[in-house]
Structure 1
Amino acid sequence: MLDAKVTPFIKPLLRPLIHVLDDAGVTPNQVTLAGFIVGILALPFIILNWWNMALGCIILNRVFDGIDGELARYQKKSSSAGGYLDICLDFLFYASVPLAFGIANPAEWGIPAMVLLGTFIGTGSSFLAFAIAAEKFQIDRPQFANKSFYYMQGLTEGTETILVFLAFCIWPQYFAAIAYVFAAACAVTVVTRITGGFFTLDKVERHAANAKRTAPKSEHE
């Protein structure tokens, strides 16, 4: 929900770093991998209850995530392979945070962590499933024209997820309550994405079928 509003403010802040990395010969995929490694380090820090360290890893992961795409566009190296790598590692990072909390305190945090992971599967699968069909039918994405995959909006997107992760680390004693509230928001996203995606694709397919039926036939048909 907030991604489209936040992204335009973040991009200008990253430009000085983009120039430095380009001058150093760093590639976008190297940034993606480095960001994932930094982000996944939050998992052991959460298990050890080292909240400040986990917080730092989560923030740095998001900084790297903003840089890789901008660097790819600056170097004119945007690719489906790079976008695929980025989104796969993002989803793995997202899953690692509630998993870490569930491991850290299974008695109190295990169930809310599992509930949150379940809704993450729903948001992720509905996102990617629609992206495949959107590419097939060339559905426009005006608010996220620079994304490698069709970016389907929802109540819970990357910005909201990271804010919740930061809240987990700042107020770990409230993990269960925050996780349940965010899981409910994710569930709303799943329902709206599946419903909206279904009717959007149904409309596009019907339009394509009608256009095919009404198209003039060639002389050889």
Structure 2
Amino acid sequence: MLDTYGRSFVQPIIGKTAQYLLKLGLSATQVTLIAFLIGIGASVLVYIGQPIAGVVVLWISGFLDAVDGSMARQSNTSSSWGTVLDVTLDRVVETSILIALALLHPEPQILFMFLLLAISIIFTMTVFLTVGAVSEKKSIKSFYYQPGLAERTEGFILFSLLVLFQNHLLFWTAIFLAVEIITGIQRLLEARKILD
């Protein structure tokens, strides 16, 4: 939701950063890989007991993840491969945060909630990617970007809450799970309308 309605406010910063990185000679794919490595670094920081640093680094990774797409569009190098790489590495970063938290909190009830959360993310992303693949609609991205309650920014907010408030992991995981399920249902209902 925030990505859909708030992108116009942050796009000037994203665009200028993209221009700067292109002038430095970096490609969109290189920035995708840098964002990925930084995101993995965030999970390492979480695991070694540096939650605030982990969240800061996670958000840097997320910012660069937005910049790489802008770089591809500015340099006319957008590609299907870039989209696949970007979306795949995003999920690996998210999974790495969950793994770091699971290693820190191996209590059965927390692990069970993390399992449900992972399943809900898979459900929501399956709908998102399938609709994007079969829809004739286009967006500024290389496939139809289906809006919903939880988009990338909301995911980062919720992951941040999990990391920063680990004493309340069950509560925040339940909230995250509910948001993902609502988003998946929203996207399914929209898919039913636009794909009839």
**TM-score under structure 1 length normalisation:** 0.82
Q: Deviations over 1:159-212 (max 9, x none)?
A: 1111111222322212221111110111112222223313432x2xxxxxxxxx
State how far apart, in whole Å, the 1-side matches of 2:70 and 2:118 are. 29
State how far apart, in whole Å, the 1-side matches of 2:18 and 2:147 are. 27
Structure 1's 81 and 163: CA in aligned 2 closer, same or farther, altered over 3 A?
A: same
Q: Percent identity?
A: 27
State yes or no: 1:99 paired with 2:99. Answer: yes
Match of 1:209 in 2: none
Match of 1:40 in 2: 40
State how far apart, in whole Å, the 1-side matches of 2:182 and 2:59 are. 26
Which one of the candidate residues 187, 192, 195 is aligned to 2:186?
Answer: 192
Equivalent position amino acid for 2:173 in 1: A
**Structure 1 contact 101–113 (Cα < 8 Å) conserved:** no
**TM-score under structure 2 length normalisation:** 0.92
Of residues 81-90 and 47-56 in structure 1, the stretch that sits farther from structure 2 once superposed is 47-56
**Structure 1 contact 91–124 (Cα < 8 Å) conserved:** no
The runs of at least 4 aligned residues of structure 1 exceeding 3 Å deviation read none
State how far apart, in whole Å, the 2-side matches of 1:199 and 1:4 are. 19
State how far apart, in whole Å, the 2-side matches of 1:25 and 1:44 are. 29
Match of 2:110 in 1: 109
**Structure 2 contact 150–179 (Cα < 8 Å) conserved:** yes
Which one of the candidate residues 179, 202, 210 is aligned to 2:173?
Answer: 179
Higher Rg of the two aligned structures: 1
Equivalent position amino acid for 1:87 in 2: V
**Structure 1 contact 156–189 (Cα < 8 Å) conserved:** yes
Q: Number of residues paired by the alignment?
A: 195
State how far apart, in whole Å, the 1-side matches of 2:16 and 2:130 are. 36
Equivalent position amino acid for 2:150 in 1: T
**Structure 1 contact 28–71 (Cα < 8 Å) conserved:** yes
State yes or no: 1:22 paired with 2:16. Answer: no
Equivalent position amino acid for 1:177 in 2: F
State yes or no: 1:6 paired with 2:6. Answer: yes
State yes or no: 1:168 paired with 2:180. Answer: no
State how far apart, in whole Å, the 2-side matches of 1:55 and 1:91 are. 16
Structure 1's 195 and 171: CA in aligned 2 closer, same or farther, altered over 3 A?
A: same
Tell me how large the CA RMSD over aligned residues is. Answer: 1.6
